[in-house]
Structures are given as C-alpha cells and as structure tokens.
Amino acid sequence: MSLPNPVDPPRVTLMGPGPSQTSESVLAALARPTLGHLDPRFLAIMDEIAQMLRQVFGTDNRTTLPISGTGSAGMETCVMNLVEPGDAVLVGVNGVFGGRLCEVASRAGGEVTRVEAPWGRAFSPEDFERAAAGRRFKVLCVVHAETSTGVLQDLSGLREVADRMGALLLVDTVTSLGGVPVELDRFGVDATYSGTQKCLSCPPGLSPVSFSDRAVDVIGARTSPVRSWYMDIGQLTRYWGGERAYHHTAPINMLYGLHEALRLCLVEGLPARFERHRLHARALAAGLGAMGLELPVPEAIRLPPLTLVKVGAEVDEAAVRRRLLTEHGMEIGGGLGDFKGKAWRIGLMGASSSRGNVEGCLSALAEALQHQGVASRGDGLAAAREVYASV
C-alpha cells in the first residue's frame, strides 16, 4: 500500500461561523520551534498571553488564561467549576449554545431553569427577573453572541439582576471576543469563556477563560471537588501562575499562535478593530438587502461578526453553499436548530472581516442564485460600495 501524500489543503475564503481566516503571521508563529512547556522562555510567553487576554477581555481578573481545548472546553471549565450538585442555575436560551449551557449545567448536577426567547431575539433584564420569580440562584448564564442566530445580547443590567438573585454572572463570549467590545469588568461578569477560531482568527484548539475574584472565592468554598480533573481551574492556575506546578503538557505551538493573534488585536487597536467589524457588517447587510434577501435579526441586536440570512423556499440553500465552495473557493455556514435548512450564516470575523470578502461574497451569492434561476432584485455590490463610499 502506497503512503499518502503530505497534507496540502487548498486556500479557502472562510466566511462561515468559524473557523475564520488565519493571518499569515499567526500561521508563521505556529511553525516556530517547539519549547518545553516548563522552559522559562515559554513561561514568559505564557505571561504575555495572559496579560494580552486581560486587555482584550477588558478585565483585571488575575485568573485569566486559555484552556487547552476548544470553546466547548471553556464552557465546561466555567460550568464545572462554578456548579455543584443541587445548585440552582438560570440559563437564557435563544439559540443552540444557550441550550448547550443547559446540558452542561445539568451534567454538572445543577438544577437548571431555562429562560426562553424566540431564536433571533435577545433578552431584557426583566425576562430573567420574571423567570427567577424571587428565587435564589447560584449562577445566571447568558450567551453574549449567539453563533446559531447572529444575535448580540446587551449585558447592561444583568449584573444587577444577578445580584438580586444572589448569582454569579456567567457569559459565553465565543463569537464576540476580539470582534465587539466584551468589557468584563464594566458589566460585572464573573466568568466567561471564548474560542480562538472566531474573531481572534487563530486556529481552533484553545478556549480563553476569565474568572473574577468573587468567582474564585466561590470555587474555593466548594463542598465537593470539581468533577473534571483536567478542567479544575484551581490546578490550572497553579500552572499558569507563579507556582508553575505541572498539570498537563500545554499545546506549545498553539499558544504561539494565540500570542500572535492577540498581539495583532492590540497592534490594530481594539476600537479600530471593533469599527472594522461594524463597517463590513453594514456593507454586507446593505448588499444582501439590495439583492432582496431578508435578515431575520433586527439591526439593533445584530452581531457584526456573524450575519443570519433567511433563505426562501425557492432556493436550495445547501446547493448554494456547495457552489460557493466548489466554484468560488468560499465557505459560508448553514442554519442550525430552528433555522436549519432555512438560513445561511455569513461570518466576518477577525481576518475574514474585509471589504474584499464582503464584495466577493455578494458577487458569489448573486452568481449561485442566478445558477438556480433566482434573480437578485438589485445590485448588492453597488449597495455595499455606497456604504464604503460614505465612510
């Protein structure tokens, strides 16, 4: 039997819900020589990663580090450390990932109360107040950027709600970190998790997390051990902190990549980076609207890094996505859950958020729809260019 050839993947324009395009300098960082995970020179890199993460998260939290695993590992880390069997947990569910939080909290032994909102809509603080009905909860969980719908949740007022129910505030920032302001300290967030493959534009494999001192104190007062040995934040901080106690062999080269991705965020400047995401999202929305495509999420709660596009019954949405990939070398995502088979999800995350990608996507969509005999109502490219001309 002949040996397989070396891996040689094609260049694809990644405009789905993740992963996003990886910058050349991040790819180069991944290829740097591997050091030992306790080498003093690598430990210095770890310190810089933690400091840059604090800046991007908008926090002074001492317990801020990347978990060795994808965003779901970060979710499990936060939930497994904060939730003990019998703890009351209140979770906002308006998409797939709120539902996943419920599942993880239940597996941790929590007694979960779901707060439901229609997919494509956000919560108000009053929604959680009504659901709590005066009861006490250990943790209030909400998704900041719901990847399945493209909804951006306003965090204003949730700290006060959590205080009234005696709860810690846990927020999913997987698709928001590095693309929109997160500002953990401003909003009083006690715990959060994210992923590297979205707006940070680093390959998947790490999940940045951050815990407030209040959350760390709650974890320290647990009456039972954290159910996951690997994700026990107490043990992890002994490796990431001054003690440098061995816990696991860190993914050295992935951390090189995260270091460079965070450095690029700060070189660009967070305000400029957030404005770049907003600009390209506006141009994309204008172009899609001109073509006659509906955006189900209201503009006021639309997530700039991810746009949900409704697909009419006359369109074979999966065939359009296949054509974009095979004929245009471009990937967009399909719908999940309530939107499965009924929507596309177009990502403009990190390095993928560019004028070239917006214009290329609008052109490719127009061609793919025309291939199915579905004509665009108007010129999407012209509408997008009007947005750019107005800046």
Under the banding of pLDDT at 50, 70 and 90, the label for residue 375 is confident
Examine the domain organization and report whether 245 and 283 are in the same domain: no
d(CA 264, CA 268): 6
Of 266, 289, 308, the position where a domain reaches its end is 266
Note the pLDDT of residue 156: 98
pTM of the complete model beyond 0.85: yes
- Comparing CA positions, the residue from 75, 68, 74, 72 lying closest to residue 205 is 68
Of 200, 234, 266, the position where a domain reaches its end is 266
User: Cα Rg for the chain, rounded, in angstroms?
Assistant: 21
Of 251, 266, 281, the position where a domain reaches its end is 266
Under the banding of pLDDT at 50, 70 and 90, the label for residue 242 is confident
Examine the domain organization and report whether 381 and 248 are in the same domain: no
Beta bridge partners of 344: 309, 334
Examine the domain organization and report whether 238 and 361 are in the same domain: no
- In this structure, the number of other CB atoms found within 10 A of the CB of residue 134 comes to 7
Residue 11 domain-assigned (yes or no): no
d(CA 131, CA 135): 9
Structural domain boundaries, residue 38: 24-266
Average pLDDT over residues 70-87: 98
Residue pLDDT, tens place only, 127-151:
999 999 999 999 999 999 999 999 9
Examine the domain organization and report whether 255 and 305 are in the same domain: no
Note the pLDDT of residue 147: 97
Under the banding of pLDDT at 50, 70 and 90, the label for residue 176 is very high
d(CA 84, CA 79): 9
Note the pLDDT of residue 353: 98
For the chain, the average pLDDT equals: 97
CATH classification of the domain holding 382: 3.90.1150.10
Residue 308 vs residues 106, 163, 315, 360: alpha-carbon distances, Å: 29, 33, 16, 17
Residue pLDDT, tens place only, 45-58:
999 999 999 999 99
- In this structure, the number of other CB atoms found within 10 A of the CB of residue 96 comes to 18
Examine the domain organization and report whether 238 and 314 are in the same domain: no
Q: Which residues, in sequence order, are CB contacts of 135 under 8 Å at separation 6+?
A: 88, 165
Count the domains in the chain.
2
Residue 4 domain-assigned (yes or no): no
Examine the domain organization and report whether 294 and 336 are in the same domain: yes
Q: Evaluate if residue 265 carries a pLDDT over 90.
A: yes
Residue pLDDT, tens place only, 185-204:
999 999 999 999 999 999 99
List the Cα angle 351/377/310 in 5-degree steps: 55
Asked whether the beta carbons of 364 and 324 are under 8 A apart, the reply is yes
Encoded tokens for 342: 């009924």
Residue 331 vs residues 96, 266, 275: alpha-carbon distances, Å: 21, 28, 24
Note the pLDDT of residue 92: 98
Residue 13 domain-assigned (yes or no): no
- Comparing CA positions, the residue from 341, 343, 344 lying closest to residue 332 is 344
d(CA 203, CA 231): 21
Q: Which residues, in sequence order, are CB contacts of 160 under 8 Å at separation 6+?
A: 125
CATH classification of the domain holding 42: 3.40.640.10
**Complete DSSP assignment for 373-384:** T---SS-HHHHH
Note the pLDDT of residue 1: 78
Note the pLDDT of residue 182: 97
Residue 8 domain-assigned (yes or no): no
Category of 143 on φ-ψ map: left (φ > 0), alpha (ψ -120 to 50) or beta = beta
